[in-house]
Amino acid sequence: MTTTKLQTFIPLFYIVWSDDLLTEKEFVTLQGFIDSQDWLSPDEKQLLLSKISISNPPSRQDIADWKSKIEQTIQQNPAIKSIFEIAVALSEKDASIQKLETSFVKLENDLGILGEEAISNFKTKAKTFTVTHQTEASFDIQKITDVLDGNQAPIINKVKSIISGPEFKLETITNVEAYRQKVYDWCKILAKENLGNMAYPKQYGGGENPSDYFAIMETLSYHDLSLVIKFGVQFGLWGTSVMSLGTEKHYIKYLKGIGTLKIPGCFAMTETHHGSNVKGLETTATYNRENQTFTIHTPHEKAQKEYIGNAALHGQMATVFAKLIIAGHDYGVNAFIVPLRDENGTVLKGITIGDCGHKMGLNGVDNGTIRFDNVNIPKENMLDRFASVNDKGEFESPIPSDNRRFFTMLGTLVGGRIGIPRSALAAAKTGLTIAIKYSDQRKQFGPEEGSEVPILNYRMHQRRLLIPLAKTYAVHFALQYLTKRFLNKTEAEMQEIEALAAGLKSYSTWSTTAILQECREACGGKGYLSENRIDALKNDTEIYTTFEGDNTVLMQLVAKNRLSEFRKSFGEMGSFGIINYVYENAKSAVAQKNPIAIRKTDEVHLLDSEFHLQAFEHREKTILASAAKRIKKLIDSGMDAYDAFNVVQHQMIDMAQAYLERVVLEQFQMAIASVEDKNSRTILTKLCQLYALSQIEKNKAWYLEDNYMEAIKTKAIRTIVNQLCWDIRPDAVALVNAFAIPDSCLGELV
Amino acid sequence: MTTTKLQTFIPLFYIVWSDDLLTEKEFVTLQGFIDSQDWLSPDEKQLLLSKISISNPPSRQDIADWKSKIEQTIQQNPAIKSIFEIAVALSEKDASIQKLETSFVKLENDLGILGEEAISNFKTKAKTFTVTHQTEASFDIQKITDVLDGNQAPIINKVKSIISGPEFKLETITNVEAYRQKVYDWCKILAKENLGNMAYPKQYGGGENPSDYFAIMETLSYHDLSLVIKFGVQFGLWGTSVMSLGTEKHYIKYLKGIGTLKIPGCFAMTETHHGSNVKGLETTATYNRENQTFTIHTPHEKAQKEYIGNAALHGQMATVFAKLIIAGHDYGVNAFIVPLRDENGTVLKGITIGDCGHKMGLNGVDNGTIRFDNVNIPKENMLDRFASVNDKGEFESPIPSDNRRFFTMLGTLVGGRIGIPRSALAAAKTGLTIAIKYSDQRKQFGPEEGSEVPILNYRMHQRRLLIPLAKTYAVHFALQYLTKRFLNKTEAEMQEIEALAAGLKSYSTWSTTAILQECREACGGKGYLSENRIDALKNDTEIYTTFEGDNTVLMQLVAKNRLSEFRKSFGEMGSFGIINYVYENAKSAVAQKNPIAIRKTDEVHLLDSEFHLQAFEHREKTILASAAKRIKKLIDSGMDAYDAFNVVQHQMIDMAQAYLERVVLEQFQMAIASVEDKNSRTILTKLCQLYALSQIEKNKAWYLEDNYMEAIKTKAIRTIVNQLCWDIRPDAVALVNAFAIPDSCLGELV
C-alpha cells in the first residue's frame, strides 16, 4: 500500500477486518469489487487482494497502522463526513479517485457500512453527552423528606433510630427456627417501646394514635419484612379484631396484654378451602344452651385454618372466624376468642397445630394451620359487637342481614388494607434506593477510547428505574390520602373508603412487585446476592398481592363499587341514562377531543397538569359507562348475571385500574400544590408529569381506540417520557436519598 | 305488610337491607319516597317506615320471609324482568300500583339498583355456563407429547426416569452446605450415566450428540435448577471452553476427566467490574519469555472473578479469561487453564477464593470469587485455537483484529445461550402445570346457592394462565428451531444464529420470569409455600435474565445485527434507500392497509394464520426501517453515534422484540404444518392463534399508531382473545399433561 492510490482502500480494509458484524460473504463482495476496477493494474489488484485473503490475513500491526492513518486523516480534516472522503484524503486527493465516488458508496452500502456512523466512531471521545451526564441535585433533600414525612416525622425518626441500632442488625438467617426467634425478640423490643399498642385507646395502655401506628408499619418496612408482618399480625390483626369486633369486657381483659405482647395471638380467618371467599368458611361455633358455651369445630381437613401467622409457635390465643350455629340454625360467620396454648406454650387439648413450613419469603413468621376438635369456650368469648347470643339462647344483632353484618365486620378490619400497601411502598422505596444508587456508580461500556458510562445514563435503564421512582412518589401521596380518609371517616363514606383501600392495596402491592423485579434486573448479578437485600424485599413482599385479599378479587370489588356509585349518580339507569351520561361526558370532552386537541403535541400542553388529569378522568368515566352498558346488554339478552360479570371481568379490572390511576394522580397534584419550597415543587412536578405521561403511554392503545388522541400525540408522549427521564436522572440519587432510609437497611451495595 | 298493596315494597326493602353496597343515604332516599306517596295513608306510611329504620331494623326472620316471597313470585312468573314487575305481582296486580311504574323505576335508579341484575341473582342457580365449564380433552395427550419430544424422546425419557428415582427426591434444603453437597452428588450420578459428556467427541469418551445434550439440560430443568446450573457449569461452560477454545493437546489431557467429573472446573470470565462488557476484563496473563510461562494476576480487587460457579467449593481448575500481555503489549482477552485446587480440594498458592454466600436462588451452586496473585502456569495452558504465542515469544493468530478474535471466541460459546432458554422453558412448563392443574381443582365463589366455581373458569384467570400457556408452546418450537440451526450452522450463518440465540435467550427467560409470576399469584397462598415448588422455580430462574448476558444488552446486540442485515439488503443506505424500502414495504402493505382490511373484524380473517404472520412481519420491518432512519438522521445532524444509539435505545429493544416475535410465530406455524394427527393440529392451531392474537393485542398501540388497524379491529381482537381462552380452557389440563413432567417434580399441590 505504498502508493497513495492504493491507500484509498485502507478504510474499507480496516473496517472489514475489525468489524465483528461482517462475514465471509462481504469479503467476497469486496474481492469482486477490486477485481472489477479497470483503473487498477493486475499487480495492484493482486496486492490489494492479498490484504483481504481470509486464509492469510494481514498482521495485527497492519491493522493498527491502518487505524492510526485513518485517525490522523480525520484529525487533519475534521469536516470529513464519509468513508469515501477519508479514502480521497488518503489518496492525497487523487483526481482519478475522486471520480469513483458512486461506485465506492455503493460498495459501502453493499457491505452494510453506515459511513457516518463509522466516522463518528472514529471521532467519538470521552466527552459525549451520554458520558458526561451525572448526579447533581437541584433541590434541598431534607425539604423533600419533610414533605414526605409530614406530621409523622417524630415517630418515623424514632422508629428509624431503633431499627438502626446494633440489636436490629440485618443478616440473612437461613435457619427458620433461629429466624423466627430473632423476629419474635425484635417484636418484644418494639412492644417495650410502646410501638405495638400505638393505635389502642389510652385507657388500655395504648397511644391512641392510629396515624402514628401506620407510620410505624411503613417505617419498620425498611427493615426486615418478617418483623413487619409478625408485628402486624400481633398488634394489627389480632389486637384490632378484639378492638373492632369485641366489646368493653374484651378490651379490659385482653387489650393491654396484647399491646405488651404478653398475650401473643392470631387472626384465624382463612381456611384451606376458603381464602378469598370468606363467606364460605366452614369452621363451626355451635352454641350449647345447656351450659352457655360454644363448641368450635373443624368439620373436615380442608376446613382447617391455614397460613395463620403466630400459629405455628407463639400464639396463645386466636380470633377464630366460624359459622355460628344455634339450635341447628346457621347464623353466618362470627368471631370468637379461642385459647390455643397455655402460658408455657403447650398446645391445649382439642387444638392441632401444623407448621406451614418453608415459604418463598417471610420465614421469620411462624405461619401454621389450626384444627379444632370440639373445643369448648365460654359464651363471653364471642366477640359480640355486631352479633350476640342473648340469655335466652337467641341470636341478636343490630344488623339483620347476615350478608351485611358480615361485610360490616370485615369493614372494621380494613386497616390491614392500609398497613400492607404502606409496607409495600416502603419496600419499593428501599429497592429503588439500592438500584438507583448502584446504577449511578456502576459503569459498563462506553464510547471507543472513552471512559465507561454509569448505567443510569442509558435510556432503557432510566425508563426501568425512573418511571417506577415517579410512581412510588405518586403512590406515597395516595396512601397518605387514604390513611387520612380512613382515620376521619363517616359512616356514609365507609363503602367508598373500603373500596379505595382495597384498590390502593392492589395498586401499591402490584406496583411493588413490578418495581422490585426491575430493581433486581437493574442490579444484575449483585441484585441476586442476598446480602444486597433485593432478594428479601422481593420474596417477602411477593405474598402482599395475595394476603389481605387477592388483588384480582379486590379489584373486582372496587369495580362493583364504582358501578354501584355510577348507577346512583345517574338515576335513570335505563339505556337512556347511559346515553345521557355519555352525552354529558361527550360535551365535557368536546374541548378535549376536537381535531386540534387530539393532535396537539407542543410541550407546554403535554406537560400541563390539567391535560393529564382530564385525560385520566375521561378514561375512568368512559370505561365505567361502557362496562355498565355492556353488562346491562348481556343481562337484557338473557345471560345470567353471574356469567355476565365473568364475561366482562377483564373490563372490570380496567375500570378499577383507571379509577385508581385517577385518584393517585389527583392526590399527587394536590400534594404538590401545597408544597411551599420552590425547588421542591419543581422536582416533584417533574415526577408528577413523568407519572402522568408514563401512565398515558402505558394506556395509549385505549386513548387511540377512543380517538382521544391521535398517533402523532401518543408518539410525542413517548418522546417526552424519555426526555423527562433524562432530565430527572441527575436528581435521581437525591430523590431516593430523600426517602432517608437508614443505611443499615440498604445492604452491601451502596 | 299484610295488605297486598304494601307488599309492593317487599323487593325494595329486601334489597336495601341485604345489599352490602347501600348506605345510610339510600335509606333516606327510600324514606323520602314513601313519605311522598299520596296513595298511602299516614298509618300505612308509618308501618312502612318502621321497616326501614336503621335504629330498629327488621328481624332476621322478616328478611328471610321477604326473600322467600320474592323467590316464589319469580318462580311463578318466570317472565318477570324487573323489580317493579315483582312488586306488581306481589300486590296481586293491583291496578293502582301498576300506574306507579315510572316513579318506582326512578326510585330503583336513585338507589343504584340494576333491576335486571337483581332479578337474575334471584334466578341464578348452579347451572350457569360459568359453573358448568370443565376439563375435557379434545385430543390424545401422548400425540402432543410426541410432537414436543420429537427425536429426543428416548433421552428425554431416560432423564425423566433418573430424576423420578428415589435418590433424586426433591426437598427444600435451607442449609447451604448440605444443599451444595446434595447437588454435587446428583451431578456425579448424572456423570456416571454419561449424560454430562453427551456433547463431547466419542474419542474423548463423549456421546458426540449435542442435540441430546440440550434435551438433557431441558429435561433436567423439571427437577432442581441448582443441579441444572451446576451441571451446565461443569459440562457446558468448563468443558465447552476447553473443547472450543483449546486444541488437541487440551482435549487429550482434560476432556475425559471433565466428562466424568474427575476434574471439576470453572468458567472464570466475569469480573466484579466487568460483567456485560467482557472486552474490558482486567485480569492479566503476562508472558514470561525466559521460562515460557504465563503469570495470571488480578490487578485490583474489582478485577477479581465473581459469581463463578464451582469456584467456592469444588472446582479444581478454571478457564480464566485474561488480557494477554507480551513484552508490555496488550493483545486482548484470551483464555487460559489455571489450576485452583489440588485433588484433595486444597486451594493452591496464589489463589484466593471467596464465597458469594447466600443468593436469591440456586443455593445448591457454589458460586465464588477468585483472585490471582501472580500465579504461574505453563505455556501449554493457553487455550490456543484462535491465538497463541510462538516459540519466538511472538503473538500469532489467524484472526488479526483483536475485536473480531474476541467475538469469534465468544461465538463458540453460544451453546450456553441455547441451554439457558431451554432450561427456562422447562421451568415455565413446570410452573404452568402446577398452576393450571391447581386452578382446575381450586374452587372459590360461585352464583348464589350454586356450587363454587373452579377458578380456571374465571376470565381473568384464563388470561393470566392460558396466554402464557400458548406462549410457552410457541417458545418451545422456536427453541427447537434455534437448536437445529445452531447444530447445522455454516460460517456464513453464524452471526445471524448468534443474534437469534441472544434474542431467544432474552425472550424465553423474560417470558419465564413473567409466567412464573402469574403462576405464583394464580396459586395464591399455596403458591407461596416452598413445598409447592413455584418458590424455587421462580427464584432459581430469576438470574437467567442476567447471566449468559444481560437481556437488555443482548437485545441491543440483536437490534444491531438486524440493522446491519437491513443495511446489507438495501444497498443504497442513503435516505433514498430507506425511502425505497418503505415504498416496497408500503406496496406489499397495500393489501393489508387498505380501508377495508384495517377494519376487517370477521372471525375467519382474525383467526387466519396468514393475517397473523403478515401483521408480525409488517411490524418487524417498519420498526427496523424507522429506527435505521432515525439513527441516520441523528448522526447526520451532528450527534455522536454513541449518543444517537442511546437516544433510540428504547426503539432498538422494540425492534429486537418484533423480530423475535415474528420468528417465534413463524416457527410455531411451520411446526403445526408438519403435524399429521388432526386433533393435535386443531388444538395446536388454537394455541398458535392465541399466541398471535395476544401478541397483537399487547402491541395494539403500535398497530393503531401505524394505522395498520383501526380501533374496531383491535377491539374485536380483544374479544376473540378472551373467547380463545374460554375455548381452550377445557383442554388446558391436557395441554400441560402433554409436557409429561414427572409427578415428583410438581410439588404437593397436584
The predicted model gives A664-688 an average pLDDT of 98
- CB-CB neighbours of A368 under 10 Å: 25
The residue in chain A having the minimum alpha-carbon distance to the alpha carbon of residue B358 is: A530
| Full 3-state SS string of A650-694 | HHHHHHHHHHHHHHHHHHHHHHHHCCCCHHHHHHHHHHHHHHHHH
CB of B38 within 8 Å of a chain A CB? The answer is no
Q: Which of A402, A546, A631 minimises the CB distance to B528?
A: A546
Share of chain A above pLDDT 70, in %: 96
Cell of A339: 385459647
The predicted model gives B674-694 an average pLDDT of 98
Residue B635, pLDDT score: 87
Contact criterion met (CB < 8 Å) for A547 and B525 = yes
Residue A498, pLDDT score: 95
pLDDT digits (tens, 9 = 90+) for B230-266: 999 999 999 999 999 999 999 999 999 999 999 999 9
Residue A585, pLDDT score: 64
Residues of B in contact with A131 (CB under 8 A): 642
CB of B663 within 8 Å of a chain A CB? The answer is no
Tell me the CB-side half-sphere exposure of residue B629, using CA atoms within 13 A.
14
Provide the pLDDT confidence category of residue B572 given band limits of 50, 70 and 90: very low
Q: Which of A62, A106, A552 minimises the CB distance to B460?
A: A552
Pick the closest to residue B425 from B361, B499, B376, B480 (CA basis).
B480
pLDDT for B126 beyond 60: no
Distance, in Å, from the CA atom of A723 to the CA atom of A729, rounded to the nearest integer, reads 10
Q: Which of A20, A281, A333 to mutate to test the interface with B (most CBs of B within 10 A)?
A: A20
CA distance A308 to chain B (A): 11
pLDDT for A571 beyond 60: no
Q: Where are the alpha helices (DSSP H) in B165-245?
A: 176-192, 210-220, 225-231, 239-245
Higher pLDDT, B707 or A104: B707
Provide the pLDDT confidence category of residue A183 given band limits of 50, 70 and 90: very high
pLDDT digits (tens, 9 = 90+) for B283-333: 999 999 999 999 999 999 999 999 999 999 999 999 999 999 999 999 999
Cell of B662: 415474528
Q: With b meaning 16 or more CB within 10 Å and e meaning fewer, what string describes B191-204? A: beeebbbbbbeeeb
Distance, in Å, from the CA atom of A730 to the CA atom of A727, rounded to the nearest integer, reads 7
pLDDT for A112 beyond 60: yes
CB of A460 within 8 Å of a chain B CB? The answer is yes
Residue B16, pLDDT score: 81
ipTM (interface predicted TM): 0.93
pLDDT for A271 beyond 60: yes
Distance, in Å, from the CA atom of B532 to the CA atom of A33, rounded to the nearest integer, reads 64
pLDDT digits (tens, 9 = 90+) for A391-428: 999 999 988 888 888 888 988 889 989 999 999 999 99
B13 within 8 A of B83, measured Cβ to Cβ: no
Amino acid at A744: S
Quick one: how far is CA A528 from the chain centroid?
19
Cell of B196: 454430562
Q: Which of A33, A56, A360 to mutate to test the interface with B (most CBs of B within 10 A)?
A: A360
Residue A20, pLDDT score: 61
- CB-CB neighbours of A660 under 10 Å: 23
Residues of A in contact with B229 (CB under 8 A): none
Cell of B126: 348452579
pLDDT for B115 beyond 90: no
Contact criterion met (CB < 8 Å) for B400 and A62 = yes
Provide the pLDDT confidence category of residue B571 given band limits of 50, 70 and 90: low
Q: Which of A107, A117, A725 to mutate to test the interface with B (most CBs of B within 10 A)?
A: A117
Higher pLDDT, A413 or A204: A204
Instruction: Tell me if residue B285 falls in helix, strand or coil.
Output: strand
The predicted model gives A558-585 an average pLDDT of 70
Residue B524, pLDDT score: 97
A538 within 8 A of B539, measured Cβ to Cβ: no
Residue A101, pLDDT score: 85
CA distance B673 to chain A (A): 32
Within 203-232 of A, beta carbons closer than 8 Å to B belong to none
Q: Which of A402, A566, A642 minimises the CB distance to B130?
A: A642
Quick one: how far is CA B633 from the chain centroid?
36
The predicted model gives A302-307 an average pLDDT of 97
Residue A61, pLDDT score: 84
Residue for cell digits 406515597?
A: A476
Q: Which of A175, A457, A572 minimises the CB distance to B174?
A: A175
Contact criterion met (CB < 8 Å) for A492 and B705 = no
pLDDT for A125 beyond 70: no
Residue A192, pLDDT score: 97
CA distance B646 to chain A (A): 6
Q: What kind and span of H or E run contains B703?
A: helix B700-705
DSSP secondary-structure letter at A529?
B
DSSP per position, B91-146: TTS-HHHHTTHHHHHHHHHHTT--HHHHHHHHH--TT-HHHH------S-HHHHHH
Provide the pLDDT confidence category of residue B589 given band limits of 50, 70 and 90: low
Residue for cell digits 393532535?
A: A599
pLDDT for B576 beyond 60: no
A207 within 8 A of A198, measured Cβ to Cβ: yes
CA distance B345 to chain A (A): 25
Q: Which of A237-251, B124-138, B359-373, B500-514 has the lowest mean pLDDT?
A: B124-138
The residue in chain B having the minimum alpha-carbon distance to the alpha carbon of residue A523 is: B546
pLDDT for A636 beyond 90: no
Pick the closest to residue B432 from B292, B533, B340 (CA basis).
B533
The predicted model gives A282-296 an average pLDDT of 97
CA angle A102, A103, A107 (to 5 degrees): 120
Provide the pLDDT confidence category of residue A12 given band limits of 50, 70 and 90: confident
Contact criterion met (CB < 8 Å) for B704 and A704 = yes
CB of B576 within 8 Å of a chain A CB? The answer is no
Instruction: Tell me if residue A717 falls in helix, strand or coil.
Output: helix
**What phi and psi values does residue B94 have, to the nearest 5 degrees?**
-60, 125
CB pairs under 8 A between A and B: 370
Higher pLDDT, B671 or B401: B671
pLDDT for A572 beyond 50: no
The predicted model gives A712-732 an average pLDDT of 97
pLDDT for A55 beyond 60: yes
Within 361-380 of A, beta carbons closer than 8 Å to B belong to 361
Q: Which of B17, B19, B520 minimises the CB distance to A542?
A: B520
Share of chain A above pLDDT 90, in %: 70
Provide the pLDDT confidence category of residue B573 given band limits of 50, 70 and 90: very low
Q: Which of A237-251, A571-585, B297-311, B566-580 has the lowest mean pLDDT?
A: A571-585
Higher pLDDT, B606 or B399: B606
DSSP per position, B499-552: HHHHHHHHHHHHHHHHHHHHHHHHTGGGGGBGGGSHHHHHHHHGGGGTTTS-HH
Quick one: how far is CA B425 from the chain centroid?
8
Residue B302, pLDDT score: 96
Residue A2, pLDDT score: 60
Contact criterion met (CB < 8 Å) for A492 and B24 = yes
CB of B17 within 8 Å of a chain A CB? The answer is yes
CA angle A490, A493, A494 (to 5 degrees): 90
pLDDT for A577 beyond 60: no
A678-698 vs A141-149: helix crossing angle, rounded to 10: 70
Cell of A30: 469486496
Within 517-536 of A, beta carbons closer than 8 Å to B belong to 517, 520-521, 524-525, 527-531, 534-535
Contact criterion met (CB < 8 Å) for B280 and A57 = no
Higher pLDDT, A572 or B614: B614
Paired with A297 in beta bridges are A284
Within 402-441 of B, beta carbons closer than 8 Å to A belong to 402-404, 407
**What phi and psi values does residue A529 have, to the nearest 5 degrees?**
-80, 130
Instruction: Tell me if residue A478 falls in helix, strand or coil.
Output: helix
**What phi and psi values does residue A513 have, to the nearest 5 degrees?**
-55, -45
Q: Which of A54-58, A151-155, B494-498, B561-565 has the lowest mean pLDDT?
A: A54-58
